[in-house]
Amino acid sequence: MEEVFLQNKAAPFILVTFVGAPLSQTIYGMILMNKMIEVAKATPSDFPMLIAVGIFGGLAMGFSAWFQGVIGAAAADSQAETGKGFGNYLMGLGIVETVALLVMVFSMIAINA
């Protein structure tokens, strides 16, 4: 992306897509947290299991967001430089996004079991 600025060109607005992609993991974490709070109020004896699920889910979603940021940065560089491949870059982000979604779903199943 440095090349774009060195050529005195404006960065394409489409790059905001790559920058904002990791924010969805925050939403998944909030959904999981709210479900965990409901379960904790209903059955306080499940507290140790909820702590374990919270730590696992938080770490997994955090790593997913981190890797999505790495992919998004590389995609932004490549998109700014070539102007091509936007769909392919979104597919890469989507694969990592799926990890966070699956962690949220499986964690919610685990706390309801």
Ramachandran quadrant class, 78 (left: phi over 0; alpha: psi -120 to 50; beta: rest)? alpha
Structural contact between residues 21 and 68, judged by C-beta atoms closer than 8 angstroms: yes
Ramachandran quadrant class, 9 (left: phi over 0; alpha: psi -120 to 50; beta: rest)? beta
Confidence (pTM): 0.82
Taking the chain (113 residues) in consecutive chunks of 10 residues, what is each chunk's mean pLDDT? 63 82 92 94 91 95 94 89 90 94 95 83
Domain ranges, ordered by start, for the chain: 2-6+21-112
Distance CA 102, CA 105 (A): 5
Q: How much is the pLDDT for 99? A: 94
